[in-house]
A and B are shown apart, each in its own frame.
Chain A
Amino acid sequence: MKVPATDPNTMDAPTPDDALHLVKGEGPIVAADGRPLKASLRRALRREKLRALGLVAPLLIFVLVSFIAPIADMLFRSVENQIVADTLPRTVAALEDWDYSSGEAPGEDVFAAFYVDLSEAVALKTHTRLGTRLNYEMTGMSSLFRKTGRRVGRFDTDIYADQFAALDPAWKDGAAWMEMMSAPGIESVLPETASAWQSWLRILENEGDDPAEETPADFVFTMLYRDLARGADVSAYNGPGADRLAAAAAAVGGFETVSIKEQFLKADKDWGDPEVWGVIQTFSPPYTPGYFLAAVDLKLTPHGIEKQPEEQQIYVMLFNRTLFMSLVITGACILLGYPVAYLLSSLPLRTSNILMILVLLPFWTSLLVRTSAWKVLLQQQGVINDILVWLGLVDDANRLILINNQTGTIIAMTHILLPFMILPLYSVMKTIPPSYMRAAKSLGATNWTAFWRVYFPQSVPGIGAGSILVFILAIGYYITPELVGGTSGTFISNRIAYHISSSLNWGLAAALGTILLGVVLILYWLYDRIVGIDNVSLG
Chain B
Amino acid sequence: MKRKILLATAAATAIGGAAFAASHGMMSNKLVLVSWGGAYQNSQVKAYAEPYKAMHPKVEIIWDESSAEAVAKLRAMNEAGNITWDVVDVVASDAIRLCDEGLAMEIDHDKMLAPAPDGTPASEDFGELIVSECFIPQIVYSTTFGYRTDVAEWGGKEPDDVCDVFDLETFPGKRSLEKRPINNLEWALYCDGVAKEDIYDVLETEEGQARAFAKLDTIKDQVIWWSAGADTPQLLADGEVVIGSTYNGRLFDLIVNQKQPVKMLWDMQVFDLDGWIIPNGLPEDRLARALDFVYFATDTQRLADQAKYISYGPARKSSAPLVPDHMKPHMPTDPENAKNTLLYNYEWWADYRDDLDAKFQAWLAK
Contact = CB atoms under 8 A, between A and B. Distances in A.
A153 B359 contact: no
A314 B362 CA distance: 5
A504 B71 contact: yes
Contacts of A128: 99-101
Given A311-B362, A503-B357, A381 B239 contact: yes
A460 B264 CA distance: 59
Contacts of B343: none
B3 A312 contact: no
B54 interface: no
B198 interface: no
Contact of A142 (B227, B239, B350, B358): B350
Interface in B1-47: 1-3, 6, 9-10, 13
Contacts of B3: 122-123, 153
Given A381-B239, A482-B227, A207 B6 contact: yes
B354 A135 contact: yes
Contacts of B2: 153, 217
Interface string A132-153: 1001100111110010000001
A500 B354 contact: no
B100 A132 contact: yes
Contacts of B13: 208
A82 interface: no
A317 interface: yes
Nearest to A131: B100
Contacts of A129: 100-102
B362 A313 contact: yes
A142 B69 CA distance: 21
Contacts of A209: 6, 9
Contact of B359 (A132, A311, A317): A311
Contacts of A153: 1-3
Contacts of A487: 179, 225, 364-365
B39 to A, nearest CB: 19
A126 interface: yes
A488 interface: yes
Given A311-B362, A503-B353, A146 B238 contact: no
Contacts of A208: 13
Contacts of A81: none
B199 interface: no
A154 interface: yes
B169 interface: no
B351 interface: yes
Contacts of A43: none
A122 B7 CA distance: 12
A312 B358 contact: yes
Contacts of A318: 365
Nearest to B101: A129
Given A136-B354, A153-B1, A487-B225, A379 B101 contact: no
Contacts of B225: 404, 486-487
Contact of A500 (B72, B97, B361, B365): B72
Interface string A495-526: 10000111111000000000000000000000
Nearest to B102: A125
B201 interface: no
A140 B204 CA distance: 10
A143 B200 CA distance: 14
B355 interface: yes
B224 interface: yes
B319 to A, nearest CB: 30
Question: Which of B97, B179, B351 lies at the interface centre, i.e. has the most chain A CB atoms within 10 A of its CB?
Answer: B351
A380 B242 CA distance: 13
A140 B351 contact: yes
Contacts of A312: 355, 358-359, 362
Contact of B9 (A136, A207, A317, A501): A207
Nearest to A217: B2
Question: Which of A132, A318, A487, A505 lies at the interface centre, i.e. has the most chain B CB atoms within 10 A of its CB?
Answer: A487
Nearest to B10: A207
A64 B25 CA distance: 43
Nearest to A158: B1
B75 interface: yes
Nearest to A317: B365
Contacts of B174: 380
Interface in A129-188: 129, 131-132, 135-136, 139-143, 146, 153-154
A58 to B, nearest CB: 23
A257 B352 CA distance: 37
A381 B351 CA distance: 40
Contacts of A207: 6, 9-10
Nearest to B180: A502
A355 to B, nearest CB: 34
A136 B361 CA distance: 16
Interface string B297-317: 000000000000000000000
Interface string A371-389: 0000000011110000000
A33 to B, nearest CB: 53
Nearest to A145: B100
A318 B224 CA distance: 20
B363 interface: yes
Given A132-B101, A312-B362, A381-B240, A146 B347 contact: yes
A314 B361 contact: yes
A227 to B, nearest CB: 22
Given A125-B102, A503-B354, A380 B240 contact: yes
A308 B353 CA distance: 17
B72 A139 contact: no
A381 B10 contact: no
A135 B361 CA distance: 18
Interface string B332-366: 00000000000000011011111101110111110
Contacts of B355: 139, 312
Interface string B94-114: 000101111000000000000
- Which 4 residue pairs across A and B have the least CB separation, nearest first? A128-B100, A487-B364, A139-B355, A501-B72
Interface of A: 122-126, 128-129, 131-132, 135-136, 139-143, 146, 153-154, 207-209, 217, 308, 311-314, 317-318, 379-382, 404, 482, 486-488, 495, 500-505
8 contacts: A123-B6, A129-B100, A143-B350, A146-B100, A308-B358, A311-B363, A487-B365, A504-B72
